[in-house]
Amino acid sequence: MKNLCEPAIAKWRDLEGDRLFGTLDNERHLGGAFLIPFRTGMARNYLRVLASSGKDDADPAWRWDHVSVSLSNRCPSWDEMDYIKRLFFHPEEVCFQLHVSSAEHISNHDYCLHIWRPVEQQIPLPPAEMVGINLRKAPAA
């Protein structure tokens, strides 16, 4: 996860949200609240984002980078989630949205989605051929 004090991210910081969630000044590089504009056609929405980096957490179970993204009237779209992933994470970082079992499902907001990345391990990926044809790959000679 990127440093949350980078100008491209920090300019969208929601100081009132930080206050509500108890973000301390010396912890802003690790977490906070953000209101991020996103334009779809003629409409402009503000995505409410809560972000936290687990890189400095003493408990290994909590070493997760996490971003939640919500709107007041609908779930974020794929384009909105992709924009947030690219804004908050480095290009080489693999992240995921998680669909847990029904027994483990928790929802505190009807229109909130999450992006996760474990800090200390790689996320296993399926073979690329299971996803589709890689059109950027040069054809075999």
Residue ranges and CATH numbers for the domains of the chain are: 7-121 (3.40.1720)
pTM reported for the whole predicted model: 0.86
**pLDDT given at position 117:** 96
- What distance in Å separates the CA atoms of residue 59 and residue 95, rounded to the nearest whole number? 21
Give the angle subtended at the CA of 24 by the CAs of 15 and 34, to the nearest 5°.
35
Pick from 20, 27, 29: which is nearest to 1 by CA?
29
Q: Tens-digit pLDDT profile for the chain (141 aa)?
A: 999 999 999 999 999 988 888 887 888 888 999 999 998 777 889 999 999 998 887 888 889 999 999 999 999 999 999 999 999 999 999 999 998 888 998 888 899 999 999 999 999 999 888 988 888 776 665
pLDDT tens digit string along 60-91? 888 999 999 999 999 999 999 999 999 999 99
Tokens standing for 139?
């054809």
**pLDDT given at position 47:** 97
